Amino acid sequence: MKIYHHHVKTLASALCGVILLAACHEDKGNYTYAAIDEITIDTTGTGIFPDYSLYRYDTLRIAPIVYLNGQQVEANDPLDYHWSIYKATTGGTAYPLDTLGTGIALDTIIPQPAGIWIVLFTVTQRETGVKAFMKTTLQIDEALSDGWMVLYEKEGETDAGLIVNDRVKKNVTRERLFVDIYSASNGQRLSGKPVSIIHSIAPLSSGEVLLASERDLVAVDKNTFELYSPAEKLFWNAPATRAFSYLGGNFTRREVVLNDNKIHYANYMTSGTYRMNAFGMACSGDYGQLADWMSSYYSASFEAIAYDQTNQRFLCVQANDVVVDTLSSSDKTAFDVNNVQMEMLFSDFGRLNYEYSLMRDGSTHALLVSNFATTNRLSDKIAIAKYDMTHCPGLADVTSIAAGGLGEIFYYASGPDVYLFKYNIVGSDQVKSVWTAPAGESVTCIRLQKFYYPQFSLAGILINNYGVIYIATWNETTRTGTVYQITVDPSNGTLDEASQASYTGFGKVKDMSWKWTL
């Protein structure tokens, strides 16, 4: 370990001293001299190493001994302490000099991405400016594990976190929580409020993570969350206006974006294992304001399925086309897909790969079930069922929904409560609150642990499909977001309260989804 000492003098003072010595060598006057402070940073017997290696988001602990003029100092007076970190190599992403701590001992989590970094400890005598330095090399390693991604708002911008435990990834022996991993990896948050986060299905092996905010869309490396592709590279011709309201994927390996009320899609069915395709031109068509939703489960006959809020109808983009078109189903037994007469609030894919949509017409609410997975534009079997929900509590302030995959169950959140709606039964047991947030918290997002590419679940790559629910809450007073992870019985929707785990430190959660590794 190298210890550096620096006595602060100016060049002008040194020159003046030389001149005076030469000119006044006969001067025999009496003078008083003050010794300059000496600061020593001692690492002897402290267990401090010249080089460190740790995993990202691990805690780095370094506790040197500091002496001022031979006397050990254990307080911040008259010395100031500053621990900082900077990248040891040049090139790539530029990272600012970050402060790690301001005490004698360093004990802090290291969020910087993988690479070689320098940790610098500076001690300063506050009055005289005398300084001493100590530095050590830090090797940061780790590819982020499989986990449950959390997208949230902080101060009007977008950031992300990750929850890792054995409910998300098999054989995990060390539970971990990562907060603000996007900004830690890229030096800043994503501009604008959050919209959506998905693990891309485009390149099956490389598999970037896509994040959308209202103002931006990026792909990041799934192992580090460092920027992989900005919006300009995700489109063949990037739109001039950035007003994103939806980002999603489909089980036939399509990705769809809604920007400025226009649909862009990318078809990766034949693109191989790496991202060799991009979002295409905006689809044209005669339609009104689109809902902030598009189906995640539809057949290869379509490039996208959307909903026209203005004209209250489902729409489609047919395979290999760039025109937003109407559906032609003539079966109106459950409802008319071309004249639904309701506004869409939320929708999610679920049991039998159907789409479960919470709709509203004034004070009337209903759950509509649609089948886009085995149909084409001319099919008569799109509208499956319509269930009245007007009697259900809390629907005036609903914030999120989640559709079950095995049982006939449907969750929705309102205020501090999560409600379970069993649409296949009637009576007093059809709807009830199954979970209530702690005092001061309200639910902002609920998701079941599932992925829009179900082949992974069938292959055993993803676990506990539909068997875990995530409930995100927001405390306006503390400005803190918390995610609760609870196992559920996927056949009847019952929550196992004894299984509840909680993770906090997020912002206001907008979306959650799975991150995986093949």
Per-residue confidence band for 207, with pLDDT thresholds at 50, 70 and 90 = confident
Task: Give the pLDDT confidence of 129-148 residue by residue, as tens digits.
Answer: 999 999 999 988 766 778 99
What is the set of domains in the chain, with CATH numbers? 3-141 (2.60.40.10)
Per-residue confidence (pLDDT) for residue 433, from 0 to 100: 97
Per-residue confidence (pLDDT) for residue 474, from 0 to 100: 98
Q: Which amino acid is at 5?
A: H
- Cα 254 to Cα 274: distance, rounded to the nearest angstrom: 14
Three-state secondary structure along 56-86?
Answer: CCCEEEECCEEEECCEEECCCCCEEEEEEEE
By mean pLDDT, which of 194-203, 404-413, 463-472 is the weakest? 463-472
Per-residue confidence band for 175, with pLDDT thresholds at 50, 70 and 90 = confident
Higher pLDDT, 517 or 493: 493
Phi and psi at residue 276, in whole multiples of 5°?
-110, 10
By mean pLDDT, which of 128-137, 278-287, 373-382 is the weakest? 373-382
Q: Provide the whole-model pTM.
A: 0.80
By mean pLDDT, which of 135-144, 231-240, 304-313, 332-341 is the weakest? 135-144
Highest mean pLDDT: which range of 73-82, 262-271, 272-281, 440-449: 440-449
| DSSP one-letter string for 274-343 | S----B-PPPB-S--PEEEEE-S---TTEEEEEEETTTTEEEEEETT--BEEE------SS--TT---SE
Tokens 């192992």 belong to 223
- Cα 217 to Cα 205: distance, rounded to the nearest angstrom: 21
- Residues near 47 by beta carbon (within 8 Å), at least 6 away in sequence: none
By mean pLDDT, which of 8-12, 85-89, 299-303, 459-463 is the weakest? 8-12
Q: Which pair of tokens denotes residue 268? A: 């990766």
Task: Give the pLDDT confidence of 379-404 residue by residue, as tens digits.
Answer: 778 999 999 999 999 999 999 999 99
